[in-house]
């Protein structure tokens, strides 16, 4: 169960954090993983690391906010490998600032990375998936798509948008053999959250509020991605799979 043999998976933002954990898990499950990030040298280094253990991997560098490059990247994956079976829209960022100081430029930047780019990539991948009669689109959302904290309005809005976009694409693409789902991580110890991990007061607040009483691990999010990409999840569609140790359901 949960094998991805013969599948080609493009994972954006996969040189670090959750994306890197997903890349490792999908290679282990038998997929050919196309590593993506903004920097060619880092992409190639991570691709080589995946290949060391006999995994099938290649790399493609582009900034997801450069929409022509991102769409062209999807086409390049298909040209190189004959298909794009799995797309994971994982690249993301967060900006923290009180609302009075939250610059419009930062709002637009978060939206460009977290919401507009996933739509453009999903649209480009869907063309090839429809032609093949098969596809898995997985978006990295957040529990902040359902609940909220102060100082991150753009992030919360973008992840709420991801949940809505996931549902919309799921109902449109399901008849063509494509499922569209999202993962909603809670607090996971990655580079994106290091400012909180390293803040004793905030870190204690999170672990004390989480029923599991700890931070999540990247590989726990990666396991959810493998499940959603697998044949065993073929009837799971339009769903946001929350992986947060119970935080979002605790009072």
How many structural domains are present in the chain? 1
Q: What is the pLDDT of residues 172-191, one digit of tens each?
A: 999 999 999 999 999 999 98
Q: What is the pLDDT of residues 219-233, one digit of tens each?
A: 999 999 999 999 999
For residue 239, being part of any structural domain is answered with yes
For residue 136, being part of any structural domain is answered with yes
Q: What is the pLDDT of residues 133-183, one digit of tens each?
A: 999 999 999 999 999 999 999 999 999 999 999 999 999 999 999 999 999
- Report pLDDT for 191: 83
Q: Which domain holds residue 130?
A: 8-243
For residue 201, being part of any structural domain is answered with yes
The set of catalytic residues is 155
For residue 3, being part of any structural domain is answered with no
For residue 250, being part of any structural domain is answered with no
pTM of the model: 0.97
Residue 16 has pLDDT above 90, yes or no: yes
- Report pLDDT for 192: 77
For residue 2, being part of any structural domain is answered with no
- Report pLDDT for 197: 86
- Domain containing residue 133: CATH number: 3.40.50.720
Place of tokens 């923290």: 96
For residue 248, being part of any structural domain is answered with no
For residue 1, being part of any structural domain is answered with no
Burial per residue of 117-154, b for 16 or more beta-carbon CB atoms within 10 angstroms, e otherwise: bbbbbbebbbebbeebebbbbbbbbbbbbbeeeeebbb
Residue 87 has pLDDT above 90, yes or no: yes
């Amino acid at each position: 169960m949960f094998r991805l043999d013969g599948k080609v998976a493009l994972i954006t933002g996969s040189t670090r954090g959750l994306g890197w954990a997903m890349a490792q898990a999908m290679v282990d499950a038998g997929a050919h993983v196309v590593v993506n990030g903004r920097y060619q040298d880092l992409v190639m280094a991570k691709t080589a690391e995946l290949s060391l253990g006999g995994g099938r991997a290649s790399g493609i560098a582009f900034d997801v906010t450069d929409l022509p490059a991102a769409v062209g990247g999807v086409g390049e994956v298909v040209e190189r490998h004959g298909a794009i079976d799995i797309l994971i829209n994982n690249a993301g960022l967060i900006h923290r600032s009180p609302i009075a100081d939250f610059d419009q430029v930062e709002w637009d930047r978060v939206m460009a990375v977290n919401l507009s780019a996933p739509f453009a990539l999903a649209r480009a991948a869907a063309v090839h998936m429809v032609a093949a009669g098969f596809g898995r689109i997985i978006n990295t959302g957040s529990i902040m798509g359902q609940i909220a904290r102060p100082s991150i309005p753009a992030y919360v809005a973008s992840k709420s948008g991801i949940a809505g976009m996931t549902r919309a694409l799921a109902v449109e693409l399901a008849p063509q053999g494509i499922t569209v789902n999202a993962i909603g991580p809670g607090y996971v110890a990655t580079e994106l959250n290091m400012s909180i991990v390293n803040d004793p007061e905030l870190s204690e607040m999170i672990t004390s509020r989480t029923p599991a009483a700890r931070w999540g691990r990247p590989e726990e999010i990666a396991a959810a991605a493998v499940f959603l990409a697998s044949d065993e999840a073929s009837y799971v569609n339009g769903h946001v799979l929350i992986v947060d140790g119970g935080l979002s359901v605790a009072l």
